[in-house]
Amino acid sequence: MRIAVVTDFEGGARLRELAADGTPTGPVRTVSDLAGVVADYRRHATGQPRWVWASTGEVYPPLVERSLRLGRCHDVGLVEALLLGYHGRLGEAHSLGAAWARLHGRPVPDDLRAPPGAGAEPPPALFEPDLSTLPPGVDRLDALVEVHADQQRRIAGLPEPGRFALLAAVESAGALAAVEMAHDGVPWRADVHDAILAEQLGPRPSNGARPPVLAELAARISAEFGREVNPDSPAQLLRAFAAIGHPVGSTRSWELRQVEHPVVPFVLRYKELSRLHSACGWAWLDTWVRHGRFRPDYVVGGVVSGRWATRGGGALQIPKTVRRAVRADPGWTLVSADAGQLEPRVLAAVSGDRALAAAAGSDDLYARLGTVFGGGGVSEEEARQRAKIGVLSAMYGQTSGDAAALLSTMRRAFPRAMEYVDTAARAGEEGRLVRSWLGRTCPPPSSRWRRLVSGGPGGEPDGDGGRAARERGRFTRNFVVQATAAEWALVFLAGVRRRLVARDTGRESARLVFFQHDELVLHVPEPLADDCVALLREAEEETRLLLFGDTEVRFPLDIAVVDCYADA
């Protein structure tokens, strides 16, 4: 059963039960306490409904505030974006109002801008009512019911409706998880974080000045150069290196490392610590950690490949050194699960390459591939390393360095896998669309790209056109793998989440607290750790079967039960 719901933004709502195809099966119900009604369904209904709404970010947060967790939803906005994308219209407005307007041939309103990230402090009204995107006089619940039914029709009409329906379901489940994770937060010990900073940078400066260690390094660098240099300024560094007879093309660390001069170690150390200070220093701590929790603001579907993005806080780039501050509460533990070598395994599964699939049946795919790249007195580890570069080159389109030779080995040993990514690259170069396994679709080329590639007066692409074409080829080559890996992760996330919701008994329940591309972290009461490990294994199995059915490929999880995330 499905239930369409629109809220009145004061705790009440109007509801209507729907059949799977979106046809209303009952009257409109007006309720004053949506949370109470939802809780009733959780307790009494046989089979949990799928809640249909315009936007998860609009309806779900107040329910989570009231300690409610829902099993499933259909987020009309997210599904509209997926459907538009499928038809090469990624980036067009996808709100309920926009979908309704397209359905009725009316002018399509722009999407409202998401509220700017507000740090750890939730904004007073989490989401402004999105009423403005529907014309006056149009009933919001009627519009929702109508657009949802239309989406179900459009999905049913696709060549692979089952796959796309799964994509819509897990994208929506991801939206539920994102709201819950923003609510629960990653357990974060500000005192440990502060100690890490003090150890490396010296005591926190009072006025926001340079920390002592950075100030000393800056002074030392200026002394070595024999002039005043701000090491934060690439331009000044460039000039300073030229002035001492060591001109460099850029101030990137790898390039500076090649320079033999006593100033170099100081500059490198400065860069390292300066990054720590600016990206995850005291200012970050003040802004993003409250009451022992870091609450990232996830953007579901924020990346074209289907990976998530975040708004502020840099949750998806937490440096390894800082992860020491992520600690389970007393009596709790962290259970992390990481899908190792996910992308090559995905390539093996989608391409149907027998030899690659056989290698992907083992725990260390690259080691298994080593036999192909070894021989001639090459050590096992060396062969494994070559295999890794070969596979990554195939997926990323790398051609420089040793890649070319390794790629020809790849073509010989794994012809179908190579053909799969080569075909995607060709499609991209020719301006066509490519899709993930479940149907997420890459953006169409821009008009600028088309002009560039259709190129010069003779119609042949010139230098810029050729470069643009190859660039897009690398993008689509990678897209088919990265986007499918992202949906593997989403299906897995949804499976884990569903199991956690089924076990939810309130405060002492295991919680999902972090999701990063191919990795999940749960915060778990200690006695439940074993159960969570089993649950993760179950979800992995389910994910593989749902996506790829009968395949030799395995997706081994690296699971760690730890107090501190740095030990995972």
Partner DNA sequence: GAAATTTGCCAC
Partner DNA sequence: AAACGTGGCAAATTTC
| Among 23, 317, 446, 454, contact with DNA (rule: CB under 7 A) | 317
Based on the shown chain and the rule CB under 7 A, indicate whether residue 43 belongs to the binding site for DNA: no
Size, binding site for DNA by CB under 7 A:
57
Position 247 contacts DNA (CB under 7 A): no
Q: What is the distance between the alpha carbons of residues 485 and 364, in angstroms, rounded to a whole number?
A: 17
By CB under 7 A, what part of segment 149-208 binds DNA? Answer: none
DSSP letter at 565?
G
Q: How far is the CB of 345 from DNA (least distance, A)?
A: 13
**Which H or E run includes 269?**
helix 263-280
Task: Give yes or no for a contact between 327 and 563, defined as CB atoms under 8 angstroms apart.
Answer: yes
57 is written with which tokens? 């970010």
Site string for DNA, 293-312 (x = CB under 7 A): ------x--xxxx-x-xxxx
Choosing from 251, 336, 436, 543, the residue that interacts with DNA (CB under 7 A) is: 251
Distance CA 417, CA 484 (A): 14
14 is a site residue for DNA (CB under 7 A): no
Write out the two tokens for 363.
Answer: 């725990």
Starting at the edge strand found earlier in the chain, the sheet holding 519-525 runs 511-515, 519-525, 332-339, 557-562
399 binds DNA (CB under 7 A): yes
Site for DNA in 433-472 (CB under 7 A): 471
Minimum CB separation from DNA for residue 307, in Å? Answer: 7
From candidates 392, 559, 560, 564, binder to DNA by CB under 7 A: 392
- For residues 479 to 498, the per-residue mask of contacts with DNA, x marking binding by CB under 7 A and - elsewhere, is x--x----------------
CB 80, CB 98: distance < 8 Å: yes
Binding to DNA, residues 504-543 (CB under 7 A): 516-519
Q: How far is CA 186 from each of CA 320, 557, 568, rounded to the nearest angstrom?
A: 15, 21, 15
Q: What is the three-class DSSP state of 143?
A: helix
Question: Does the protein bind DNA through residue 358 (CB under 7 A)?
Answer: no
C-beta neighbour count of 118 within 10 angstroms: 14
| Binder of DNA out of 116, 203, 226, 314 (CB under 7 A) | 314
Q: Least Å distance between CB 211 and DNA?
A: 11
- Give the 3-state DSSP-derived string for 321-365, with helices as H, strands as E and coil as C: HHHHHEECCCCEEEEEEEECCHHHHHHHHHHCCHHHHHHCCCCCH
Q: Would you say 387 and 370 are in contact if contact means Cβ atoms under 8 Å apart?
A: yes
CB closer to DNA, 26 vs 314: 314
Site for DNA in 266-285 (CB under 7 A): 271-272, 275, 277-279, 283-284
Question: Which residue among 26, 401, 456, 527 contacts DNA (CB under 7 A)?
Answer: 401
CA–CA gap between residue 30 and residue 14 (Å, rounded): 4
State yes or no: residue 400 binds DNA (CB under 7 A). Answer: yes
Closer to DNA by Cβ: residue 305 or 543 = 305
Binding mask 199-238 for DNA (x = CB under 7 A): -------------------------------x-xxxxx-x
Q: Report, in Å, the least distance between residue 163 CB and DNA.
A: 22
Number of Cβ within a 10 Å radius of residue 230: 13
Q: Which is nearer to DNA, 320 or 507 (CB)?
A: 320
Q: Of the ranges 20-28, 146-154, 395-403, 535-543, which one interacts with DNA (CB under 7 A)?
A: 395-403
Q: Cβ closer to DNA: 447 or 505?
A: 447
Nearest-angstrom CA–CA distance, 374 and 384: 8
- Smallest gap from Cβ 302 to DNA, in A, equals 6
> Measured from the CB atom, is 303 or 378 closer to DNA?
303
Spatial CA neighbour of 516 closest among 310, 335, 332: 310
* Span interacting with DNA, options 152-160, 399-407, 505-513, 528-536, rule CB under 7 A: 399-407
Q: Reduce the secondary structure of 182-243 to three states and give it as a string.
A: HHHCEEECHHHHHHHHHHHHCCCCCCCCCCHHHHHHHHHHHHHHCCCCCCCCHHHHHHHHHH
Give whole-number Cα distances, 415 to 58, 356, 361, 530, in Å. 48, 9, 18, 42
Angle formed at CA 482 by CA 481 and CA 487, multiple of 5 degrees: 100
Beta carbon of residue 338, minimum distance to DNA (angstroms, whole number): 8
| DSSP 8-state code for residue 375 | -
Beta carbon of residue 233, minimum distance to DNA (angstroms, whole number):
3
Select from 31-39, 216-224, 353-361, 393-401 the region that touches DNA (CB under 7 A).
Answer: 393-401
112/132 Cα distance (integer angstroms) = 9
Question: Do 243 and 228 meet the contact criterion of CB atoms below 8 Å apart?
Answer: no
Q: For residue 129, state whether it binds DNA (rule: CB under 7 A).
A: no
3-state secondary structure of 414: coil
**With binding defined as CB under 7 A, does residue 116 bind DNA?**
no
Closer to DNA by CB, 70 or 568: give it: 568
- Angle formed by the axes of helices 190-201 and 263-280, to 10°? 160
Per CB under 7 A, 319 contacts DNA? yes
Closest approach of DNA to the CB of residue 249, in Å:
8
Which H or E run contains 520? strand 519-525
User: Which CB sits closer to DNA, 155 or 214?
Assistant: 214
d(CA 297, CA 201): 28
Minimum separation from the CB atom of position 22 to DNA (A): 31
**Residue ranges in contact with DNA by CB under 7 A:** 117, 230, 232-236, 238, 250-254, 271-272, 275, 277-279, 283-284, 299, 302-305, 307, 309-314, 316-320, 392-393, 396-401, 403, 471, 474-475, 478-479, 482, 516-519
